Amino acid sequence: PRSMRNLAVEVQLLDGAEFAVEIKGEGAMDSALAYPPPFETAPGQFLILPVNEGISYPVDDPSLPEMSYYLYGGHGLCMGWYGVTDTKRALLSIVETPDDAAVRLPRLDGRLVLSPEWQPQKGGCGPPRRIRYSLFDSGGYVAMCKRYRAYAAEIGLLKTLAEKRQENPEVDKLVGAVNIWAFGPRGPRMCEELRAAGIERILWSSRSTPEEIDRMNAMGVLTSRYDIYQDCMNPANFDKLRGVHADWTSEAWPGGVMIDAGGDWIRGWRVRGKDDQWYPCAVLCDRLAPDYARRRIAEELKTHAYRCRFIDTTTASPWRECYHKDHQLTRSESKHWKMELLRVVSREFGLVTGSETGHEASVPYVHYFEGMLSLGPYRVPDSGRNMLQPWDEPPQRVARFQTGHKYRLPLWELVYHDCVVAQWYWGDYNNKLPTLWDRRDLINALYGTPPMFLFDAKIWEKNRERFAQSYRNIAPVARATGYSEMLSHEWLTADHAVQQTRFANGVTVTVNFGDAPFTLPDGTLLGPLEQQVAGLP
């Protein structure tokens, strides 16, 4: 940017086939800085990006648009890296200063490339920006993931579920458990029906009465409920609304909400009023959220013995700058207070903790993510509303990228499978699109992750046996591999239809997403939409 008075760039040679680029600037910064320039790509290569679980973009696929992703929130990149590979040789970019970073995917000579981008920090250059490049002769995206896993351990992000279980034994109830969101059916009765159908391990996410919670706790069910510390509605709007959410932090209006660089309050979730007009919530400043959680949770746990809590938006929405004179924040400070909120829930209150979509910054503090499996750009439209509504005709974008086999990759699992349980989003669950249900089950089995079911009484009765089938196909794999590192993922066919994963405990999962049978090395015929699991204990 022309506003910068000075810019210094240092290139450092590191051990092995690695080097780093560090950028220091002085003065104002009124727009993003794109540096270093992108490396050119070649036909047949793939851009590899941790868009939630992960995705591969063929650089020469003309149907793909130019894109951009930020690194400071779950709806951008969920890990601080990206790269390019021909499936063997690879170039990994580790963004060591991700809090104000982004990456653009423009075209150079007609092919997609990766262009690092640095956002201003509060209108200035901020601290030095640093990106590390690692080169590989073999191993492709798996080698990239394993190098990044080692880096994550170095900077303190890698904390396994086994370690978290030592701190809180309730974590073991999560591993291999289906996440149930039930609208209408009451918990104890529904859990009895689920178990009668063979669905044993259950995370019950719907809010319950104290008596219901006690009964489910006695049954060995992991009891949870939804909570949120972002949305703050102006109380002056209450009479215009169709309902007031019990978890809004509206007492923080107006002094506790985030203010943008222009002096306006930052908008969050919108709700429709009685007049059919939309009314936006403000965003509670992240610095204030931990104390709101301390007060709310401490009071509720006196009567409601939940063992788990789902905190909405915290790892989905971006780290934000706040310009309020009483609680200013950089994005890095915003991240700190978001993580402090999750630390309060998981450590101060000893609750199994989940958050939305997911981001690696929270790996030391949380146990599961709702939405990591659901690639954010490729969910059904407005998936956060009308969760119960099934989609009988899958949107082409969903079928191609979300449940299709050509593009998506388990990058998150290759780095953090044994650290956090990844789940679908509650507007993008296993039974959301019935014609794609089988494909979602295969993805769960391949990734070693549990299913999510969302239903009312009618949907449950209609699909009882299908739910049980889904659980039978998925839960044993998720349970067996839940504490194990994913060692590898491989495309066994050129069209990516047949894929295989291997886990550290010896479990191997092979699935066929395609339309034709595939003969495995041992002579076994793997039919269309079938799975084979070897090495289960």
Work out the mean pLDDT of the chain and round it to a whole number. Answer: 98
Give per-residue pLDDT as tens, 426-456: 999 999 999 999 999 999 999 999 999 999 9
Residue 32 · residue 25 · CB < 8 Å: no
What value does the mean pLDDT take over residues 235-244?
A: 98
Residue range 411-425: average pLDDT? Answer: 99
222-223 and 202-204 as β-strands: parallel, antiparallel, unpaired?
Answer: parallel
Give the model's pLDDT for residue 5. Answer: 73
The answer to whether residue 1 scores a pLDDT higher than 70 is no
C-alpha 387 chain-centroid distance: 18
pLDDT value at 4 more than 70: no
Mean per-residue pLDDT, 340-346: 99
Sort strands 530-534 and 508-512 into parallel, antiparallel or unpaired.
antiparallel
Cα 146 to Cα 133, 150, 211, 411, 416: the distances in Å are 14, 6, 46, 10, 10
The band of 183, judged by pLDDT with boundaries at 50, 70 and 90, is: very high
pLDDT tens-digit readout, 78-87: 999 999 999 9
The single residue listed with the structure tokens 């080169």 is: 135
Q: Are 481 and 507 within 8 A, CB to CB?
A: yes
**pLDDT value at residue 512:** 99
Give whole-number Cα distances, 514 to 6, 58, 303, 442, 498, in Å.
55, 19, 51, 11, 7
Over residues 92-99, the mean pLDDT reads 99
pTM: 0.97
What's the average model confidence in pLDDT over 31-43?
97
pLDDT > 70? residue 528: yes
Structure-token pair, residue 306: 């939940």
Res 463: pLDDT: 98
Q: Is the pLDDT of residue 226 over 90?
A: yes
Host H or E run for residue 111: strand 111-112
The share of the chain scoring above pLDDT 70, in percent, equals: 99
- What's the pLDDT tens digit per position in 117-169? 999 999 999 999 999 999 999 999 999 999 999 999 999 999 999 999 999 99
Is the sign of the CA dihedral 34, 76, 376, 405 positive or negative? Answer: positive
Give the model confidence (pLDDT) of 254-290 as tens digits. Answer: 999 999 999 999 999 999 999 999 999 999 999 999 9
pLDDT at 238 over 70: yes
Query: What's the number of CA atoms in the CB half-sphere (13 Å) around residue 357?
Result: 27
The token pair at 442 is 């295969």
pLDDT of 509 reads 99
Domain ranges of the chain: 4-154, 161-228+289-485
- Mean per-residue pLDDT for 289-308? 99
Residue 376 clears pLDDT 70, i.e. is over it: yes
Total count of residues recorded for the chain: 537
Q: Does 1.10.3470 match the CATH number of domain 161-228+289-485?
A: no
In whole angstroms, what is the distance from residue 105 CA to residue 144 CA?
Answer: 19
pLDDT category, 207, cuts 50, 70, 90? very high
